[in-house]
Amino acid sequence: MKFVDEATAKVQAGNGGRGCVSFRREKFVPFGGPDGGDGGYGGSVYLRATEGINTLVDFRIQRTFKARSGEAGSGAECTGRSGEDLYVTVPVGTTVKDLETGEILADLDTADMTIKVAEGGKGGFGNQRFKSSTNRAPRQYGSGLPGESRMLGLEMKVIADVGLLGLPNAGKSTLIRAVSAARPRVADYPFTTLYPNLGVVDVGEHRSFVMADIPGLIEGAADGAGLGHRFLKHLDRTGVLLHLIDIAPPDPDSDPVKDARAIIAELKKYSKTLAAKPRWLVLNKSDLLLPEDAKAVAADIARRLRHKGPKFLISGATGEGTKPLCDAIMQALEAARKPQE
């Protein structure tokens, strides 16, 4: 299934039913009077966050969602049937925006969270509502109010605890394959990852977290260069960012420190909130160097970057060092959750 994280949709609530003009006609009841019933309410449109959906691709196929209108009233003061409400399912993590006003209507970040996005129209009054001492045979009725209509912008952000950050070919997909059951495509060319991949990392009984791998960033990503700029928003919900650095780049003229600083600059340019998140240094591909050389290069990179947070030397290809990394992430996430609980 194609990954789509942005879509637009038109929602149209049902119109209210027309009121009825009717007069009571029964044997031996010469002055029955008006008995026209009200029209039914129009159905409303709701959005509901549902687990198991990870794309907005369905909104590329169907762009208009319309609830049923209410039915007209009838005689004997019978109210018309109300239109059924329409529930539209969206992925968990979808932000809903009114495109006309720019207002953020909701952030559906939990399963079964529901929001009404279009109110159904009220049914019109029947003529029995208009009777009075001076108007005993009214022929007025209400035609029913129109249902609300809206153009919505939908933006999905993946729900993950940990986000992977780095240049193309830094080893992000290899790491997520090593620590979870996710199987993103891995190849030796830039932009192997074309859309976010999620993996559940199990670190023990009832202890796990979700890791997100997004397309690699390049310099100028915040201004639209490369693929990563489209998916930076998927890191907004993460609690920890893992900045992967290739300590043995294939190009001998490339400088891992310079590249890392470029990524940090892109983060700050895109969002100060994202740049302020805890960022751990993960120095990857230690298997390509001798153990002593790998440690020395990793220490030099961390020193030149003046990185004060946690740092780990790993090999995503062999799995070396990934267990201590995952254990430390789990401990940090648990510590962050305790105050909230």
**Pair type for strands 162-165 and 197-204:** unpaired
pTM: 0.73
Residue 56 and residue 191 in one domain: no
pLDDT tens readout for residues 263-299: 888 888 877 888 888 899 999 999 999 999 999 999 9
Handedness of CA 249, 253, 254, 256 (dihedral sign): positive
Q: Mean pLDDT across the stretch 111-115?
A: 93
Query: Has residue 232 been placed in a domain?
Result: yes
Q: Mean pLDDT across the stretch 7-18?
A: 94
Instruction: Please report, for residues 38, 92, 122, 123, the alpha-carbon distance to residue 18 in angstroms, rounded to integers and kept in the order given.
Output: 7, 38, 10, 6
Could you list the residue range(s) of the whole structural domain that residue 36 is in?
Answer: 6-156
Residue 245 and residue 279 in one domain: yes
Total domain count for the chain? Answer: 2
Distance of CA 218 to the CA centre of its chain: 24
Residue 172 and residue 110 in one domain: no
Q: Torsions phi, psi of 176, nearest 5?
A: -65, -30
Q: Mean pLDDT across the stretch 20-44?
A: 86
Asked if residue 173 lies in contact with residue 193, where contact means CB atoms within 8 angstroms, the answer is yes
Residue 114 and residue 180 in one domain: no
Q: How is residue 91 written in tokens?
A: 């992925």
Q: C-alpha angle with apex 180: 324 to 279, nearest 5 degrees?
A: 55
Query: Has residue 142 been placed in a domain?
Result: yes
Residue 175 and residue 280 in one domain: yes
Query: Has residue 1 been placed in a domain?
Result: no
Residue 11 and residue 104 in one domain: yes
Domain boundary among 97, 132, 156: 156
Q: What residues have CB less than 8 Å from 147, skipping those under 6 apart? A: 12, 13, 14, 15, 16, 42, 43, 44, 67, 69, 118, 119, 120, 121
- Cα radius of gyration rounded to whole Å, the chain: 30
Residue with tokens 């909104």: 59
Q: Which residues pair with 284 in a beta bridge?
A: 246
CATH assignment at residue 69: 2.70.210.12
The residue count for the chain:
341
Domain boundary among 123, 156, 189: 156
Domain boundary among 105, 122, 156: 156
Mean pLDDT lowest among 61-75, 141-155, 176-190, 233-247: 176-190
Q: How is residue 170 written in tokens?
A: 């830094």
Residue 138 and residue 197 in one domain: no
pLDDT tens readout for residues 214-228: 776 555 544 554 444
Query: Has residue 251 been placed in a domain?
Result: yes
DSSP 36-84: PPPPPPPPPEEEEEETT----THHHH--EEEPPPPPPPBTTTBPPPPPP
DSSP H helices in 171-211? 172-179
CATH assignment at residue 308: 3.40.50.300
Q: Mean pLDDT across the stretch 86-94?
A: 92
Provide the 3-class DSSP secondary structure of residue 182.
coil
Q: Which residue has the higher pLDDT, 222 or 208?
A: 208
Residue 326 and residue 179 in one domain: yes
Query: Has residue 189 been placed in a domain?
Result: yes
CA atoms within 13 A on the CB side of 72: 12
Distance, in Å, from the CA atom of 63 to the CA atom of 65, rounded to the nearest integer, reads: 7
Q: Is the pLDDT of residue 42 over 90?
A: yes
Residue 228 and residue 145 in one domain: no
Residue 196 and residue 299 in one domain: yes
pLDDT tens readout for residues 305-331: 998 889 999 998 999 999 999 999 999
Residue 152 and residue 172 in one domain: no
Task: Check residue 321 and give left, alpha or beta (phi > 0: left; psi -120 to 50: alpha).
Answer: left
Distance of CA 1 to the CA centre of its chain: 17
Report the C-alpha dihedral over residues 56, 62, 65, 68, rounded to 10 degrees.
Answer: -140
Average pLDDT value over all residues in the chain: 85
Residue 139 and residue 195 in one domain: no
Query: Has residue 19 been placed in a domain?
Result: yes
Q: What residues have CB less than 8 Å from 78, skipping those under 6 apart? A: 20, 37
